[in-house]
Amino acid sequence: MIELFLSAFVTLFVVIDPPGCAPIFYGLTTDATSAQRRRMAIRAVLVATFILVGFAAVGEQLLHALGISLEAFRIAGGIMLFFIAMDMVFEKRTQRREDRAQKVKETPEIEDVSVFPMAMPMIAGPGSIATVMLLMARADGAPESFAVLAALAANLILMILALLAVGPIMRLFGGQVEAVITRLLGVILAALAVQFVLDGLEGSIL
């Protein structure tokens, strides 16, 4: 159980990426007051929580309704996570997030960034949704499912803390430190993605 929690926590931490989302949020809310930034941070995490928990709860049933096996989803999800990992190693994902944030910032009619782009797709994006569904599919019984949900909750708590404390975090960590951490987490995610693919192949063969 503890091993599953740690594995799920690390996987979700890498995909959801609270340290990476915090500076983007800071850049989007430079003109907002502290109170406005706090409200947007809380709203973004709440909306993302609703999305991710929803897919965790009914994701497997949705796959069955669409006629997709869990093994096929594991393989597809692992491949997608591997490409996310490659983007992290070569810093392409960060650049895309920054470009998306800049486009939103340059649109004057969009002031509240809590739902878009923060909640969706930056926090509850395709990668995190697929990861939650994969982890829940691997869980065997209620205790293991609870461990996955606990790992998700821990990551979302870290996300809200990172968004609320984004100012001090930006002063504490420079861009170079963030780049090193992102690359390291990308390598870890690549290994986990390969493991998802191997699990899917093993399940389809057996």
Of residues 144, 141, 143, 159, the one with CA closest to residue 52: 159
pLDDT at 157 over 90: yes
Q: How confident is the model at residue 159 (pLDDT cuts 50, 70, 90)?
A: very high
Q: How confident is the model at residue 110 (pLDDT cuts 50, 70, 90)?
A: very low
Q: What is the mean pLDDT of residues 174-182?
A: 64
Which range (79-88, 120-129, 167-176) has the least confidence? 167-176
pLDDT at 203: 80
Winning range, highest mean pLDDT, from 86-95, 139-148, 163-172: 139-148
Specify burial of residue 46 (Cβ count, 10 A radius: 0-12, 13-18, 19+): middle
| Residues ≥6 apart with Cβ < 8 Å to 40 | 25, 29, 32, 112, 113, 114, 118
pLDDT at 102: 66
Domain locations in the chain? 2-205
Provide, rounded to the nearest whole percent, the portion of the chain with pLDDT above 90: 26
State the residue for tokens 């690359």: 183
pLDDT at 111 over 80: no
Of residues 33, 21, 171, the one with CA closest to residue 98: 21
Per-residue model confidence as pLDDT tens digits over 84-108:
778 777 766 666 666 666 666 665 5
Cβ distance 132 to 75 under 8 Å?
A: no
C-alpha 171 chain-centroid distance: 24
Structural Rg of the chain based on CA atoms = 17
pLDDT at 15 over 70: yes
Per-residue model confidence as pLDDT tens digits over 118-136:
898 789 877 788 889 989 9
Count the helix, strand and coil residues of the chain and give each as a percent rounded to the nearest 5: 85, 0, 15
Which range (26-40, 53-67, 148-162, 181-195) has the least confidence? 181-195
Which range (14-28, 93-107, 141-155) has the least confidence? 93-107
pLDDT at 71: 81
Cis amide bond preceding 143, omega within 30: no
Enter the pTM of the model. Answer: 0.73
Cβ distance 85 to 187 under 8 Å?
A: yes
Q: Mean pLDDT of all residues in the chain?
A: 81
